[in-house]
Amino acid sequence: LICFILVTPLDVIKTRLQAQSNPFPKGKCFVYSNGLMDHICVCENGDSKAWYKKPGHFKGTLDAFVKIIQIEGIKSLWSGLPPTLIMALPTTVIYFTCYDQLSEALKSRLGKDDEHIPVLAGSLSRFGSVTVVSPLELIRTRMQYRKLSYKQLYTCVSSKVAVDGWFSLWRGWTSTVLRDVPFSAMYWYNYERFKKMMCKEAGAHEPTFFIAFTSGAASGSIAAVITLPFDVVKTHRQTELWECETLKIPQRDCTSTWAVMRKIVAKNGITGLFAGIIPRLFKVAPACAIMISTYEYGKSFFSHLNEKMDQH
């Protein structure tokens, strides 16, 4: 929750700056991401508090930050946060709980210092959380942008399942797994190594807030750069899917992850697969740092609290 509150204003300002130079037409969509959670935004006409519908005249990031607060109020910097939290909080809880439980189980089997543990635990926990949440994310997005009642939603989902089968609820799952599972494997492997190394240098038995923050930022940056091509493909597939549905355009047959990747390379070259590397780093690095440091601090706090209670 702390991570979302701190990172969301950065993405709101970035999106508003993009929108003033290239206004989003009705039916156009883009992916809003704060480093932890993707959120599809479909643009519509009419008055709204959503950040992508308001015109702006900003000279830069600082100018946008000041003017949004002065003209629209400070709450506008957190536009679009509630719908993102609906899915982000349960996803993060499942992910971290699974990682901790799997790590402990693997330590008892492979040994406490086995270097494969973070890779295995990180990969499996991410695979599980993505698989569980994927249909819920699809349903949530449909409900939000088509303003469906629960009865209409049930009819919509059941008719889709009847035509395309149950696997249609996991559309986009492959590209999400290809991005998030390697990201988690690399993130946790590097995080545990950096943490152990910094604790040894500082002579600390457990990571301080600074050690966890620094290790999280560094490992998140490395994983973000390496998995960026799959992030580009996932964004491309998501936006194409929702634009087809919103604008009633027949969907193309060639929509596999590898087909999209070949299409991007043919159009923009290999550098096209690394588009948006700077904004991704600016979002992912602080998001990972804040998330892991607050998690480690909370875990340490409640662990010590439990020890005190047991002593009494």
184 Cβ contact partners less than 8 Å away, ≥ 6 residues apart: 122, 123, 125, 126, 223
240 Cβ contact partners less than 8 Å away, ≥ 6 residues apart: 252, 255
pLDDT digits (tens, 9 = 90+) for 64-121: 888 888 887 888 777 666 666 766 777 888 888 899 999 999 998 888 888 899 999 9
148 Cβ contact partners less than 8 Å away, ≥ 6 residues apart: 142, 156
pLDDT digits (tens, 9 = 90+) for 260-283: 888 888 888 888 888 778 777 877
Long-range pairs for 224-229 at CB < 8 Å and ≥24 separation?
Answer: 224/183, 224/280, 224/281, 224/284, 224/285, 225/277, 225/281, 226/182, 226/183, 226/186, 227/179, 227/180, 227/182, 227/183, 227/186, 228/273, 228/274, 228/276, 228/277, 228/280, 229/261, 229/273, 229/274
Say what the pLDDT of residue 48 is: 46
What is the reported pTM?
0.73
Taking the domains of the chain in order of start, what are their residue ranges?
A: 1-77, 81-171, 194-311
Residues of the chain with pLDDT below 70 are 1-4, 11, 14-56, 79-84, 86-87, 137-150, 152-153, 172, 237-255, 312
* Cβ-contact 217, 285 below 8 angstroms: yes
Say what the pLDDT of residue 47 is: 45
